Amino acid sequence: MHVLLTGPCGRVGFKTLLRLLDAGHSVRCFDTRNDFPGHPAGFNEACEAMLRGRGLEYDWVWGDIRNPGEVRAAVGDDLDAVIHHAAMTLPTQCEEEWEYCWDVNYSGTMHVIDAILASARAPKLIYSSSVAIYGFPPAHGRDFVETDPLPATCTYAATKIASELAIRRAGINYSIMRMASCPDGGAPQLFLSGSAGMQERLKKEDRLKMPDSPAHFVASADVNTAYLNALDNPRSDRGIFNIAGPADCRTTFGEMKRELAAATGGAPTADDGWGSSPYPQFYYDTTHADDVLDYVHTPSSGILQSMAAGVGGIGEFLQYYRG
Predicted model pTM: 0.95
Put the strands of the sheet holding 59-62 in their side by side order. Answer: 59-62, 26-31, 2-6, 81-84, 124-130, 174-179, 239-243
- The residues, any chain, with a CB within 8 Å of residue 124's CB and separated by 6 or more, are 80, 81, 82, 172, 173, 174, 175, 231, 237
Do residues 159 and 102 lie in contact, with contact meaning Cβ atoms separated by under 8 Å? yes
pLDDT per position as a tens digit, 19-41 = 999 999 999 999 998 766 667 88
For range 94-108, the mean pLDDT: 96
Residue 74 has a pLDDT of 98
Residue range 66-83: mean pLDDT, rounded: 98
Question: What is the residue-averaged pLDDT of the chain?
Answer: 93
> Is the pLDDT confidence value at 269 over 60?
no
So what's the pLDDT on residue 184? 83
Assess contact for 282 and 178: CB atoms under 8 A: no
In CATH terms, the fold of domain 2-318 is Rossmann fold (3.40.50)
Return d(Cα 225, Cα 72) in angstroms, integer: 27
Q: What is the mean pLDDT of residues 64-84?
A: 98
**Average pLDDT of 73-99?**
96
* Low-confidence winner among 93-102, 180-189, 290-299 (lowest mean pLDDT): 180-189
For residue 197, the model assigns a pLDDT of 85
CA angle 142, 148, 154 (to 5 degrees): 100
Return the bridge partners of 176, or none.
127, 240
190 against 265, higher pLDDT: 190
User: Using 50, 70 and 90 to split pLDDT, how confident is the model at 80?
Assistant: very high
Q: How far apart are CA 29 and CA 104, in angstroms?
A: 17
40-51 pLDDT per residue, tens: 889 999 999 999
How much of the chain exceeds pLDDT 90, in percent?
A: 81
Q: Is 27 strand, coil or helix? A: strand
Question: What is the per-residue pLDDT for 264?
Answer: 81
Where along the chain do its domains lie? 2-318
Which ranges in 30-184 belong to alpha helices (H)?
A: 43-53, 68-75, 91-96, 98-101, 108-118, 155-169
pLDDT score for 267: 64
